[in-house]
Amino acid sequence: MSKQIIQTAKAPAPIGPYSQAVKANGMLFISGQVAMNPETGELATGDIQSETRQVMQNLAAILEEAHLTFEHIVKTNIFLSDMSLFAQMNEVYGSFFKGDFPARETVAVKGLPRGVNVEISMIAVVDL
């Protein structure tokens, strides 16, 4: 099995010993992304919709680096600081997909890195 590390300056650099994404066996595994603006290093806080939009833009940048789109996503994991944020997050999240949606789960957790309200990771297939 060969694997390829995917790295782009258009998404936040990892803050620990992990890669933005790893391509292996026809799949792309994208690490959880938070609402950090890669140009400024600042968190896009204010409301859950702004946070979710930045997270999805970070994920889009990683997909682009791997020559993929949201159409390639088959699984999404969403972590929220509070389930009361679900509807607003879901509205923004859904706007990034056309047609068939990936499988997913959304869970509330006690805390997320840097005190953010949403973190999203994804799995994509390379060939549709």
- pLDDT tens-digit profile of 12-25? 999 889 999 999 99
Residue 68's CATH number? 3.30.1330.40
For the stretch 55-93, pLDDT in tens is: 999 999 999 999 999 999 999 999 999 999 999 999 999
Strands (E), the chain: 3-6, 21-24, 27-33, 73-80, 103-108, 118-125
Burial (CB count within 10 angstroms: exposed 0-12, middle 13-18, buried 19+), residue 99: exposed
Report the predicted TM-score, pTM, of the whole model to 2 decimal places: 0.96
Between residues 34 and 113, the one the model is more confident about: 34
Q: What range does the domain containing 101 cover?
A: 3-125
**Number of compact structural domains in the chain:** 1
- 103, 75 contact by CB (below 8 A): yes
